[in-house]
């Protein structure tokens, strides 16, 4: 509808500040992932499970629903800032932030799928609680990735 377009431009300094804040927020998630990777690296096999199974279990903690929201603040800033600016005014750091958040979210979905496979193939009864918990985390992660994609393709 003519006349409904915003004639004001978003302050470039605000976009830079939000981009820096988004990267700082993403640092928290990256730190948590590095912590889990270090824990997974140090796992040895036991008589009950192989080292691979235990590593997948330890790494899958990043996919649990209480842990996925650690990515949400960085995602909110990246998505919101991307939607504020025109596509041709987005800087490379903002694009990289949005795509890094999406890549981490997609990786979390893949880790969740590997963890569900590991849980489902354990000897004995299938632990449905563990599977449902990881499915919940995968859903949250997939939602974050989808929102990043929407912001990337539908920015002004």
The domain segmentation of the chain, as residue ranges, is 12-154
Q: What is the pTM of this model?
A: 0.84
Residue-wise pLDDT tens digits, 48-105: 566 666 777 777 788 887 888 899 999 999 999 999 998 888 899 999 999 999 999 9
Exposure of 89 in the CB half-sphere (CA atoms within 13 A): 16
Contacts of 66 (CB under 8 A, 6+ apart): none
DSSP characters over 34-73 = HHHHHHHHT----SSS-HHHHHHHHHGGGGSTTTGGGGHH
Only one residue has tokens 């919101």, namely 80
Determine contact, residues 65/138, Cβ cutoff 8 Å: no
């Amino acid at each position: 509808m003519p006349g409904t377009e915003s004639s004001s431009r978003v302050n470039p300094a605000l976009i830079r500040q939000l981009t820096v804040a988004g990267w700082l927020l993403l640092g928290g998630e990256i730190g948590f992932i590095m912590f889990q990777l270090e824990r997974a690296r140090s796992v040895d096999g036991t008589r009950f499970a192989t080292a691979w199974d235990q590593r997948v279990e330890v790494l899958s903690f990043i996919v649990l629903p209480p842990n996925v929201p650690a990515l949400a603040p960085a995602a909110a800033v990246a998505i919101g800032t991307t939607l504020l600016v025109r596509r041709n005014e987005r800087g490379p750091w903002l694009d990289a932030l949005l795509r890094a958040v999406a890549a981490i979210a997609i990786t979390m979905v893949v880790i969740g799928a590997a963890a569900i496979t590991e849980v489902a193939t354990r000897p004995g009864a299938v632990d449905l609680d563990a599977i449902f918990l990881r499915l919940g985390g995968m859903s949250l992660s997939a939602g974050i990735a989808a929102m990043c994609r929407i912001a990337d393709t539908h920015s002004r």
